[in-house]
C-alpha cells in the first residue's frame, strides 16, 4: 500500500499540482490506462449515467476528454453542462473525484488531438454513430470501409460531430486508503473558477 501522503497534513495551495503528482505515480504503478476516469452525467429525467473515458489533457483550465458529440454523454452534456469525474488507482489505494461545469475545447485543440490519433481511430470516428442502435457488426464494418474508401489513411478530417469537452473543477477530493477503514479525505473547493481554493478534511 502507498504511504501516507503529506498533503493530508499540509495541503498544497494548488490541487492540480497534487493531481499531477498522483497521476505521475499512477503512470508507474498502474498496469494500464492510468488516465482512465469515470465520467458521470445526468439525463433529462435526472437519471445519472456513468462510463469510463480517457483523460486526454489537463491543466489549470480543467480536465479534457474527447467524444462523439451525438453520443448519449454528448447529448446529456448539451442539456446539462455539469459533470463529475472519478479516478481510481487500485495499485496506489487512491482515488480522485472532480465536479464542475463543462465547456467545449477550441476547434484548434480538437483538430490537434484528432490529428495525433492513429488512422484507424480517425476513421472509426466517421464510422461510428455512437450510442445509436446498431443492426449488426457487419454494418459498422461496412461504414468503416466506406470511410476508408472516401478518405484513405492520410488526410482524414475531423468529423463535425467529434470534439472535446473540458470539466473545469469547482471541487476536487483526494482520497487515500487508511488502516481499519479510517481513510484520508481532503477536499478542495471554490465557488467559481476565478476564486481561490479552500480546503477541508472529511471524515472517512
* Radius of gyration for the chain, computed over Cα atoms and rounded to the nearest angstrom: 19
Q: Is residue 143 part of a domain?
A: no
In a domain, 186, yes or no: yes
> Whose grid coordinates read 445526468?
42
Distance of alpha carbon 97 from alpha carbon 66, whole angstroms: 19
The residues assigned a catalytic role are 181
- The reported pLDDT for the residue numbered 5 is 77
**Which regions of the chain are under pLDDT 50?**
1-2
Per-residue confidence (pLDDT) for residue 61, from 0 to 100: 97
In a domain, 58, yes or no: yes
> 135 lies in a domain?
no
pTM: 0.94
Task: Tell whether 153 is covered by a domain.
Answer: no
Please list the alpha-helical segments (H only) found in 30-177.
72-79, 107-116, 119-127, 137-151
Question: What's the total number of domains in the chain?
Answer: 1
Q: In whole angstroms, how far apart are CA 50 and each of 28, 38, 76, 131, 140?
A: 26, 6, 11, 13, 24
Distances, alpha carbon 122 to alpha carbons 42, 74, 146, 158, in Å = 28, 18, 13, 7
Q: Is residue 3 part of a domain?
A: no
Domain contains 134: no
Q: What is the pLDDT of residue 6?
A: 85
Q: Please give the Cα distance from 12 to 186 (Å, whole number).
A: 11
Q: Which domain holds residue 64?
A: 12-112+164-201
Check which CATH number belongs to the domain holding 170 and give it.
2.30.110.10
Amino acid at each position: 500500500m502507498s504511504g501516507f501522503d503529506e498533503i493530508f497534513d499540509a495541503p498544497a495551495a494548488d490541487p492540480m499540482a497534487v493531481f499531477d503528482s498522483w497521476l505521475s505515480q499512477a503512470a508507474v504503478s498502474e498496469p494500464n490506462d492510468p488516465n482512465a476516469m469515470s465520467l458521470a452525467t445526468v439525463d433529462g429525467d435526472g437519471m445519472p449515467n456513468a462510463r469510463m473515458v480517457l483523460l486526454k489533457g489537463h491543466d489549470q483550465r480543467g480536465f479534457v476528454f474527447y467524444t462523439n458529440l451525438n453520443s448519449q454523454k454528448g447529448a446529456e452534456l448539451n442539456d446539462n453542462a455539469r459533470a463529475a469525474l472519478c479516478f481510481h488507482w487500485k495499485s496506489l489505494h487512491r482515488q480522485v473525484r472532480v465536479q464542475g461545469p463543462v465547456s467545449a475545447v477550441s476547434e484548434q485543440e480538437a483538430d490537434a488531438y484528432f490529428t495525433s490519433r492513429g488512422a484507424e481511430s480517425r476513421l472509426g470516428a466517421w464510422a461510428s454513430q455512437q450510442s445509436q442502435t446498431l443492426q449488426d457488426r457487419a454494418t459498422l464494418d461496412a461504414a468503416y470501409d466506406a470511410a476508408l474508401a472516401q478518405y484513405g489513411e492520410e488526410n482524414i478530417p475531423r468529423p463535425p460531430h467529434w470534439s472535446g469537452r473540458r470539466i473545469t473543477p469547482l471541487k476536487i477530493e483526494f482520497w487515500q486508503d487508511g488502516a481499519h477503514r479510517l481513510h484520508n479525505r481532503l477536499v478542495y473547493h471554490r465557488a467559481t473558477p476565478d476564486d481561490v481554493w479552500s480546503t477541508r478534511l472529511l471524515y472517512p
